[in-house]
Structure 1
Amino acid sequence: MIFVFKTSVKTKKQIKAIKPSLNQLLLPNAKWNFDLEDHDKILRIEAEEDIVLRVRHLLSIHNFHCEELD
């Protein structure tokens, strides 16, 4: 499944800061990337299981807004 989130992550430095946490949460069975050029600062995750609540929680811990897009 592919999950798409609108986030408040704006810089590569911010991605670098949360990268270890995302990798720990999602690997080895998921792939993820940010599109900072998109207006909504998109986070795309390809995962085999529903990870929406865990991702939203993780980003909120790091003080970022995150909402799943349809």
Structure 2
Amino acid sequence: MVEIFKTNVCSPRNAEWLTDLIHRRFEKYRANFDLEDCDRILRVISPTGAIDAHAVIALMAEQGYQAAVLPDEQPAAFPRCAIAAAIRARTVARQTV
């Protein structure tokens, strides 16, 4: 199972610290951040089943960070940031014609 969270984590150092904290608190979870994504996402993977999203969000909040589950709206191969960039590019192209 994989759960994706939108976060307000900006620093790679803080992301590494939070990842270590998640791994200690939830021993079976594997976590990583993608801070280059527009949502600064946190991916949490559990090979044994469902992820307790509320517990992950609470842990982030205890450390002063926000996290929210991202809904499964877009295919993983075409992230929302790419969609937004494509729409902006098309809008700009139309305005210059």
Greater share of helix: 2
- Which band: TM-score by shorter chain? 0.7 to 0.9
Deviation at 1:20, TM superposition (A): 3.2
**Once the 2 structures are TM-superposed, how far is the Cα of residue 22 of structure 1 from its aligned partner?**
0.7
Structure 1 partner of 2:24: 24
Counterpart position of 2:5: 5
Aligned-CA RMSD value:
1.2
- Alignment match, 2:60: 59
State the number of aligned residues: 69
Which blocks of at least 5 consecutive residues in structure 2 are unaligned?
72-97
Does 2:38 correspond to 1:39?
A: yes
Deviations 1:1-58 (A, max 9, x none): 110000001111112332332111222x221110000010000111123310110000
Report the structure number with the largest CA radius of gyration.
2
Higher relative contact order (CA 8 A, sep 6+): 1
Distance 2:35 2:61 in 1: 18
TM-score, length-scaled by structure 1: 0.87
Task: Indicate the structure with greater strand content.
Answer: 1
